[in-house]
Amino acid sequence: MPQLEIFPLYSGSSGNATLVKADGINILIDAGVSCKRLCEGLVSIDVDPDSIDYIFITHCHSDHIAGVDVFERHHPAPLYTTADTCYVIESACRKKFGGEMIEIGQKDCVTLSDTVKVMSCPTPHDAAGSVCYKVIAGDKSFLLLTDVGHLTEEIVDFAYGVDGALVESNYDVRMLIYGFYPDELKARVAGDGGHLSNEECADLIKVMIEHGTEQFIIGHLSDKNNTPKQAVSTIVDILAKSDLVRNRDYRLSVAERYEPTDGMIL
């Protein structure tokens, strides 16, 4: 029976990486911390960095690609991402990129084995070629959705019916408005090409629960405009208004910023 296990290794603007074990295949999604920290994170959950079979990158911001070149030199694995992201990764390398890069479309499907495939869907974000990914193993599926300026109909359709998801819950609206960020940065974060607020995350989780998803991890929380406690209470309160109760109708945890989070098994 194919199984999916998800381990967020790092999450937030200081660096993102998530390990997905999909029916015997180890997939790393994003590599936004140093190679050293990536390896430390993997080893801490008993995964040999050499056992990474594939790397998928969501977009070209440094908190998603910072360690990818060095990691690829030491632990080569085919890397899949969109043409725009390939271009930025290659340009950022001092020498030629150390690994094998395979271009995919923003709406694509990569078959990795008889039972495992990875699908992409475009995300509105201020980086060309941004995508989110859905990993499918047999009849199980997992969605990783971060760095999303706003929810599009396409994303909501893409999210429907997955068994589990890691969804961005970047900022608390009041903390952002009254915080010390310059106005320009506030507008960028809250804008159409920025990030999802706790409220927007709750709206998505609500419709996903209504379509059968039960397990959620929230991630990419801002360290200035959010706290894990604030994000969870906002989401739980919004869902309660629709009579959706935590630990009865859904499970919700928070991806840690600096260390691996307990795995989600689907």
**Site residues (CB under 5 A) for Zn ion?**
61, 63, 147
Which residues neighbour 114 within 8 Å (Cβ) at sequence distance 6 or greater? Answer: none
Q: Residue 21 or 61: which CB sits closer to Zn ion?
A: 61
CB 155 within 8 A of CB 145: yes
d(CA 136, CA 163): 10
Token couple for 258 = 């600096």
Q: Residue 61 or 75: which CB sits closer to Zn ion?
A: 61
Q: Residue 163 or 200: which CB sits closer to Zn ion?
A: 200
Least separation in angstroms between CB 63 and Zn ion: 4
Least separation in angstroms between CB 72 and Zn ion: 20
Least separation in angstroms between CB 131 and Zn ion: 11
Q: Residue 63 or 200: which CB sits closer to Zn ion?
A: 63
d(CA 193, CA 74): 34
Least separation in angstroms between CB 29 and Zn ion: 12
Q: Residue 3 or 152: which CB sits closer to Zn ion?
A: 152
d(CA 25, CA 210): 30
Q: Residue 84 or 214: which CB sits closer to Zn ion?
A: 84
Q: Residue 163 or 172: which CB sits closer to Zn ion?
A: 172
Least separation in angstroms between CB 66 and Zn ion: 11
Nearest residue to 216 (alpha-carbon basis) of 192, 240, 235: 235
Nearest residue to 20 (alpha-carbon basis) of 94, 89, 112, 123: 112
Cα separations in angstroms, 49 against 14, 85, 207, 234: 21, 23, 36, 37
Token couple for 55 = 């790397």
Residue-wise over 185-200: b if at least 16 C-beta within 10 A, else e?
Answer: ebeebbeebbbbbbeb
DSSP state for residue 49 in the 8-state scheme: G
Least separation in angstroms between CB 9 and Zn ion: 14
Least separation in angstroms between CB 126 and Zn ion: 7
d(CA 9, CA 18): 5
Token couple for 52 = 């990474």
